Structure formats: structure tokens, C-alpha cells
Amino acid sequence: MELATFGAGCFWGVEVTFRNVKGVKEALVGYLGGTLPNPTYKDVCTGRTGHAEVVQVEFDPAQVTFERLLDVFWENHNPTTLNRQGPDVGTQYRSGIFYHSPAQKTAAEESKRKLEASGKFARPVVTEITPTSEFYIAEDYHQRYLEKRGLAACHV
């Protein structure tokens, strides 16, 4: 098993998207990239901790490649809006790939270059590609949030 971590706005929908990818064994929502140890949702929502809402994905590379996960990431959010996804605004909603290995870093950078060269977006891609840091799992009520409400029916 390997880990991949992505920030693409509010983590509830991102979790569902990755959870429904064949080969993904687990998807947990949490916080990464900030300065406050053990942040709560309330802390992160202030926008002052530096954390991003992220999904940490555990996947089987024999069933799904990191490159496929990158495709899912790009396809399911707008990587050209700085610190914003839809109505959610703030640094906690930034677009980010938090790599766990040099190979993931290389793959993420190449994937971003290809997306920029594709002309799909008129504006620059602002997604950060940075090393992973301490992952703080979000409160239990955030895990499988949309599934608990019957809203997790998408399939990738």
C-alpha cells in the first residue's frame, strides 16, 4: 500500500471521489501544512493556522497508479482558483498535491506541466506541489460525511 495526499477544496466531496476509485483502500479527511499542532476544524476554518483541508488516500499501486489518482485530482476541482473552490474561500481550501516520495513529486510536476500545456484552462494552474507534513485526521463527524448523509453515490 502507498499513501497520496491531495487538497482540492472542501474535503467532503474529495473524499467521496477518491473513495470510489478502484484500488483505493481508504480515504481519510484531515488537515496538513499548518503550524498549529492538533488543529480542530474550528481552528482550521479561521484560515490562520496555515492548514489545508486534505484527503489522505491509501491505495494499492497494483490496482491504481499514482498517475491515475493525479488525473482524478485534476478532473474534480478547479486548479486555477487561488485559495478557493466554488463558494469556499480561504487558504484551507487551496489546491495542493502533498507528495510522499521523490517519484510522486516527479509525477505530480509532470502531470501539472501537461495540464498547463493542454490549454484546458485559460488561467494559470496554482496548485502547490509540496512535501507532505504532519497529517492530522479530522474529527470523526467529518469522516465519510457525505456518505452518512446519503450523498456519496458518485463513481470514478
CA distance 28 to 14: 10
CA-based max dimension of the chain: 40
Is the distance from CB of 112 to CB of 125 less than 8 angstroms? yes
Q: Decide if 88 contacts 128 (C-beta within 8 A).
A: no
The set of cell numbers assigned to 150 is 446519503
Which residues form the catalytic set?
A: 10
Is the distance from CB of 56 to CB of 89 less than 8 angstroms?
A: no
